[in-house]
Amino acid sequence: MPNELASRLEPIVAEAVTAAGFDLDALDVQQAGRRKLVKVVVDSDDGVGLDEVADVSRVLSETLDQHEHLIAGAYTLEVTSPGVDRPLTTQRHWRRAKFRQVRVTPTEGAEFTGRVGRADETAVRLLVDGTIRDVRYADVAKAVLEVEFKQPPAGELKRLEQDAGEAAEGDNDNSEGAAAAAPEEEPR
């Protein structure tokens, strides 16, 4: 019943969270004694502060009160932001982790740690042991942020920024790049 309830509540909750300027990261409904626990995880590109969590909580409380017939009973609403242990599962997660250290468990091969660069629709660029690597999301079994207690090395950040800049230049110069890549005619 709770999972079915979460499915029915998701579009309602997602709309309210989006209207408040955030992304719905997760929605879970569990039975907690006689009450239901409605747990909502929200996120944004700029992160989520405590005041913002409180604001979203008020908006969601009003929204759920308007749809109390779906919940059919007492509930507790818990609104939170993702924890540092949240796995990176979508492009949005990877994009928001830019310049952060991550531990990656690939679907094949050994686990490794790298610093996140740019993330596109199918892959992320990681700086691993001084080398830029493209890692397809489909090839990642699990990825989580590593907690760092000091500033990232400036050289690593500069390298990732340069890599992103080079990619942007390549995207802007498509027509010239195609012409430059054409084989030249040899003199006769």
Domain residue limits, the chain: 4-80, 91-151
**Counts of helices then strands in the chain (DSSP H, E):** 6, 8
- Name the band, by pLDDT with cuts 50, 70 and 90, for residue 84: confident
Per 3-state DSSP, what percentage of the chain is helix, strand, and coil (rounded to 5)? 40, 30, 30
Evaluate whether the domain defined by 4-80 bears CATH number 3.40.50.720.
Answer: no
At residue 52, the pLDDT reads 92
pLDDT value for 176: 40
Q: Which residue has the higher pLDDT, 61 or 174?
A: 61
- Domain spanning 91-151, CATH class: mainly beta
Summarised one tens digit per residue, pLDDT across range 4-14 is 888 899 999 99
Note the pLDDT of residue 118: 93
Using CB atoms within 10 A of its CB, is residue 133 exposed (0-12), middle (13-18) or buried (19+)? middle
- Whole-number average pLDDT of the chain: 86
- In this prediction, residues 56-79 reach a mean pLDDT of 91
- The tens digit of pLDDT for each residue in 155-176 reads 999 999 988 888 777 766 544 4
Terminal alpha carbon distance of the chain: 79
For residue 41, what are the β-bridge partners?
26, 80
pLDDT(180) > 70: no
84 vs 130, residue with greater confidence: 130
